[in-house]
Structure 1
Amino acid sequence: MESLTGRNVALLVLCLCAGYALVVADGDKEIPATKLGQNIAPTMTFLYCYSCGYRKAFEDYVNILVEKYPQIQVHGAHYDPPGLNYYLSKIIFALKITIIVSVVSAVSPFTFLGFNTPSWWSHLQSNKIYACMMIFFLGNMLEGQLISSGAFEITLNDVPVWSKLQTGRFPAPEVLFQIIDNHLQFNEKVQENPDFVK
């Protein structure tokens, strides 16, 4: 009876870990405030592919924009790929965490399902450190492949102004400045920094 209670506790812990992993993965979603009727500074948003290594490009653009247009608020976030890939990556993340917790806690999911424990699972449990590292890196690789979109999307006040997915390239800083100037008509709303070196 004690082993049955221990198994129930272990199963409960595995379910809680998987649920927590899914909640944490979707926890960064928030509803943006509407800008209608508000007198606020222009907001530029960059949605980029984090797994593609575009964070450095985003930081470079932020530095250039803050220097030339100090009034613009610049935000950045990871671009979630559309379709099934996003959900598959979340499932793989939860599965990765569940398997790692199972290996570390020496709980066999096959026992709960009524199957004999395979020899490869026993091998994983006898080499816990190696198994957890392998599962972690393999899971990360699969997640990265699923969410790798190549996106570098730019919006200004929620209006799309540049899409790397459509153009296939990053905007040159001069082109981005021209887009900003044309879009906002900076004569009245935002003044350029007079000390900006062109």
Structure 2
Amino acid sequence: MDRAQLVLVALPIFLFCRDIFNLFTPRPPKPTQYHYHQIDDPDEPDNIHDLQTQQQQILQEPLKFPVQQKSNGIGETGIGSTINIDFCTTCSYRGNAITMKNMLATSYPGITVVLANHPASFTKRMLSKLVPVVQVGIIGTVLGGEQIFQKLGMVPPPSWYQSLQANRFGSIATTWLLGNFIQSFLQSTGAFEVFCNDELVFSKLKEQRFPSEIELRDLVGKKLGSLRKTRNADVK
């Protein structure tokens, strides 16, 4: 095989090995936030420093949402409670999850909001891992099929192989693009599930829609209110 054929075969193998390696690699720790202090330049006017300081303060301020009023004066509203938002990471739902997390953390002080990927079923996950293997097998057959079929005693090669050889570049490109589409489809779930203390609050899989910020805040507030009443009854 020439260099182009070696590259086409080695690239899918490298990507597949990288996916397998990422499965067993632990997640990196969260980056530490550092605060940088700007050194004043005596040649610059003071109003420029004031403007830059105001811009930095505006950028560093968190998003503000209406805060849920406390029903009693004991502790924080959501202290001791955990909200789990399981969403589909391959569906570009991370922005929605972060917005909901900031809203809930601001509306219910003391609450813990955890974001996590909602995994697909075991069958889909296994099939998604087999897709790169099939891709490599088809591309390898297209590039070196004649030697493969000769060793297997299949002379002449099958008719479907001859059709692939007739348009070698198109066959390789189609296999690569179609395989990536199938793998992404198998890994996506379309989920946006919200749990309050392990109790389901909202399910996109059931409702077939996203919750609004006000709707989700009210649903979580009802769960927290019922939990607070139960705790107060147990104390009494």
TM-score category, normalised to shorter length:
0.5 to 0.7
RMSD: 4.1
Larger radius of gyration: 2
Of the candidates 163, 171, 191, which is equivalent to residue 151 of structure 1?
191
Verify the 8 A CA contact 1:21 1:97 in the aligned structure 2. Answer: no
Instruction: State percent identity of aligned pairs.
Output: 25
Following TM superposition, by how much is the alpha carbon of 1:180 offset from its aligned partner in structure 2, in angstroms?
Answer: 2.1
Which residue of structure 1 aligns with residue 182 of structure 2? 142
State the alpha-carbon separation in 2 of the partners of residues 163 and 176 from structure 1: 11
Which of 76, 80, 104 matches 2:119?
80
Distance 1:72 1:163 in 2: 20
Secondary structure of the corresponding residue to residue 202 of structure 2: strand
Contact in 1 for aligned 2:164/2:171 (Cα 8 Å): no
Answering whether residue 107 of structure 2 is matched by residue 68 of structure 1, we say: yes
Letter in 1 for 2:148: T
* Residues 1:183 and 2:223 are matched in the alignment: yes
Closer/same/farther in 2, CA of residues 81 and 168 from structure 1, 3 Å limit: same
Letter of the 1:111 partner, please give it.
I
SS at 2:190's partner residue? coil
Query: Which digits, 9 at most, give the CA deviation of each residue in 1:137-177, with x for residues without a partner?
Result: 32221122223332111112322221111122222222222
Q: Does 1:170 align with 2:210?
A: yes
Could you tell me whether the CA contact under 8 Å between 1:21 and 1:93 is conserved in 2? no
1:132 deviation in Å? Answer: 6.2
Of 141, 148, 151, the match for 1:111: 148
TM-score, normalised via structure 2 length: 0.49
Q: Distance in 1 between matches of 2:112 and 2:21?
A: 27
Task: Name the CA distance, whole Å, in 1 between partners of 2:110 and 2:147.
Answer: 59
Larger relative contact order, structure 1 or 2 (CA cutoff 8 Å, min sep 6): 1
| Cα distance, 1:46–1:108 mapped onto 2, change above 3 Å | farther
Q: Which moved more, 1:113-122 or 1:166-175?
A: 113-122
Please state if 1:96 is matched with 2:135.
yes
Whether contact under 8 Å (1:43, 1:157) holds in the other structure is yes
Length, aligned pairs only: 161
1:160 maps to which residue? Answer: 200
Normalising by structure 1, report the TM-score.
0.57
Deviations 1:22-72 (A, max 9, x none): 644644799xxxxxxxxx843322222233332222122123223323533
CA distance in 1 between partners of 2:83 and 2:17 (Å) = 32
